[in-house]
A and B are shown apart, each in its own frame.
Chain A
Amino acid sequence: MKLECKGISKAYGKKQALAPLELTFTEGIYGLLGPNGAGKTTLMHLLVGLLAPDSGEILADGMEIGKLGATYRAKLGFLPQEPGFYPGFTGEEILRYFAKLKGIHQPQKKIATLLELVNLTDDRKKKVGQYSGGMKRRLGIATALLGDPALLILDEPTAGLDPKERMRFRNIIGQIGFGKIVILATHIVSDVECISDHCILLKEGHCIGADTADALKENIRGKVWNTPSDETEAERYVMEHACANLIKSDTTLMIRSVSDAPPFPHSVAAEPNLEDVYLYYFNQSGRDGESP
């Protein structure tokens, strides 16, 4: 499957949520990175057909997705940012209901496998109203995976998951990602770094970078610095520069920063990671579980 965004844009009133975008997705796992308000959710909603672009078109294997209609939706699995369920349904009933909506015949076996995959087998008979936020998200992931979709779009899939669940989710996506297009939007950099083949950086509705994680890291080689420091110096540096990470060890304090030139004479160039890429492009922190 090939998904192409040809000059798609979207505005909400006067606010331009997405500037004209040119993107092509083929089989692989794509991480959409960007701070809140960058246009990630808008792009996802355009890709799943919940929104129509103001200009441009989205093509699936050369056909406009609006014209494909149910044929396109049959290949689609979508996890929204806040998946809503009916509190009176049990987890299993939710999956059976969505299996019906997706036109899956005899879904029992698939449902059992998915419940096992997202660790909800023991809670399958429990009403969704009694589920925790993490359980609901896991149920949402299972729902998105129903029908083995060729195109899987996940909006903030790991939000609200504990570290163990997040690890499990990464493994799931790693397992099922082969031969599919998986697009996941997040501001948790480590998720993208662990499982994505490609990264797309969105900032204020513009695509400011789209490449493999390694290529993006390579772009900022020589711009990441480790500076051994004391507390006073570190405090002053952090006050003056928003884009700084402080790494504490038992005896030393290390300032990790991203800039074109070394911040201190004694700064040492470091191996860039995806978090540094995030810092470099967005001038913000993108650490696990934090909202930059």
Chain B
Amino acid sequence: MLYELKKLFSAKLVWGLLALNLLYMLFIPFQGLRHNYRDHIQSVKTQQKLYTQMQAAYPQPQAMQDALEQELLRIQQQDWTTDAPGIYGETLRQDFFAVNGVYEHVRYLVTQVPHNRSKIIKEMLYDMSQADQSGEQDWFTERSNALAIKQYNRILPLELVSTGIHEGTQYILFNYTMWEYLMLAFLVLMTVRMFTMDLISGAYQMIHTSKHAEKSLFFRKFGALALVALLILLFHLGVELIANCTILGLSGFHLPLQQLETFEMCPYFITIGGFYVLKTAMKYLAYLWVIGLTAWIASVLRKPLTAGGLGLLLSCGGLVVHMVFYLRQTNVTARKIYRVLRMLLPQGLLNAREYLQTFDVANVLQYPVGRLQLCCGITICSSILFIMLAYGRWCRIERRGYA
């Protein structure tokens, strides 16, 4: 595999593309953070300090919420927009944002989560009883309701601790689509290069008459590409985690994902750390799909330009379609199409968040199946298929009359 990597990176162009990829990956988040870096850190520190003080003073959640409400009222009664000295932060304005932030988070954990979940369960039970009375049996709705009740009727071990702020900012900074286009294009170009370079250099004649020319070499090539994709992805994850933890104060990786407001309606039991692992794994699945697909195209066409063009069209094109319908969700038809796309297109896995924010199931033969699982299943199956097809083509080079 090391030799395949060396072959892959033997051209300066490849290093240039890699550098461009990494620079672009880092440019947007650091550009965004540069302007309010100190504000973020200060804000995180103030909230964490306040949370600690409140926990010590009020061990009961409801008492803590009440106390925070009182504290918020006290600050609001003053002229909090000025730079008057604060108790928790340097100014009263900082105090307001800190108390408001902690109060909203505590209210969310103590009141909102149990209330909304209870409401959903009641509604589902009501729907089921209504269906029973009317005698109209809709198997999918019934099964779907039963599944929702099962998923939401569980006690989440949420804790009254700070898990960082500006949760939305994390997504803006590290989950932007432009880099994904670049990454997909990079993977397509690398795969095309990997699977056509032997032909272009003329080395294929000697390679394909060697003992390990088929299975072993094919999987070494695929493995080298998979390793490159994994290393870039891990680098991306590392940068994201470092920035989120140090600048945005992200913590509590062992806590349920529902600790973050964005994921209140997540039906799965998954920790914040688990979410990062899942997110990375899903992206990796999508990358492997792109590599498999492009490897097949390159093995069939054997011409870098044509194979690269088609690979880009199918990988980046899929992402474009995905994004178009994501942005047009105000339209009912577009929303329906978007749901189907999220289920069928592996590019959807590049945005794991979308699958975890709601009870997101599709009707498969009257059974509710999570779109996340469906998309993962489709991606895995089609990747295996593409890899098998690519392998078949690769091994039949001697039957293609290229000699």
Q: Which of A82, A88, A101 contacts B213 (CB 8 A)?
A: A101
Chain B residues whose C-beta falls within 8 Å of the C-beta of A76 in the assembled complex: 209
Contact A88 B211 (CB under 8 A): no
Chain A, residues 77-100, CB within 8 Å of chain B (1/0): the string is 011101111111100010011101
- From A49-57, A177-185, A190-198, A227-235, the one touching the partner chain is A49-57
Given contacts A80-B202, A83-B202, A84-B204, contact A73 B401 (CB under 8 A): no
Q: How far, in angstroms, from A97 to B197 measured CA to CA in the complex?
A: 15
Chain A nearest CB: distance from B243 CB in Å?
A: 35
Chain B residues whose C-beta falls within 8 Å of the C-beta of A97 in the assembled complex: 3
Contact A86 B210 (CB under 8 A): no
Given contacts A73-B213, A101-B211, contact A82 B202 (CB under 8 A): yes
Chain A, residues 93-132, CB within 8 Å of chain B (1/0): the string is 1001110111100000000000000000000000000000
Contact A51 B211 (CB under 8 A): no
In chain B, residues 169-220, which have Cβ atoms closer than 8 Å to a Cβ of chain A?
197-198, 201-214, 217
Name the interface size band of chain A.
35 or more
Contact A102 B211 (CB under 8 A): yes
Name the interface size band of chain B.
20 to 34
Given contacts A48-B209, A101-B211, contact A86 B398 (CB under 8 A): no
Which residue of B is nearest A44, CB measured? B403
Which residue of A is nearest B3, CB measured? A97
Given contacts A12-B401, A86-B7, A88-B10, contact A98 B210 (CB under 8 A): yes
Residue A74 CB within 8 A of the other chain:
yes
Chain B residues whose C-beta falls within 8 Å of the C-beta of A93 in the assembled complex: 3, 6
Residue with the greatest number of chain A CB neighbours at <10 A, chosen from B3, B205, B212, B213:
B205
Which residue of B is nearest A146, CB measured? B210
Chain A residues whose C-beta falls within 8 Å of the C-beta of B11 in the assembled complex: 88
Chain B residues whose C-beta falls within 8 Å of the C-beta of A82 in the assembled complex: 202
Q: How far, in angstroms, from A144 to B401 measured CA to CA in the complex?
A: 22
In chain B, residues 371-403, which have Cβ atoms closer than 8 Å to a Cβ of chain A?
397-399, 401-403
Contact A45 B10 (CB under 8 A): no
Which residue of B is nearest A96, CB measured? B3
Chain B nearest CB: distance from A159 CB in Å?
A: 15
Residue A70 CB within 8 A of the other chain:
yes
In chain B, residues 55-73, which have Cβ atoms closer than 8 Å to a Cβ of chain A?
none
Contact B212 A103 (CB under 8 A): yes
Residue A143 CB within 8 A of the other chain:
yes
Contact B209 A49 (CB under 8 A): yes
Chain B residues whose C-beta falls within 8 Å of the C-beta of A101 in the assembled complex: 207, 210-213, 217
Chain A residues whose C-beta falls within 8 Å of the C-beta of B403 in the assembled complex: 41-42, 45, 50-51
Chain A nearest CB: distance from B219 CB in Å?
A: 13
Which residue of B is nearest A129, CB measured? B10
Residues of B within 8 A of A (CB): 3, 6-7, 10-11, 197-198, 201-214, 217, 397-399, 401-403
What are 8 sample pairs from A and B whose C-beta atoms fall under 8 A apart? A48-B205, A49-B398, A50-B205, A50-B397, A52-B399, A78-B205, A80-B202, A103-B211
Across the A-B interface, the 5 shortest Cβ-Cβ residue pairs? A84-B202, A88-B10, A50-B403, A45-B403, A101-B210
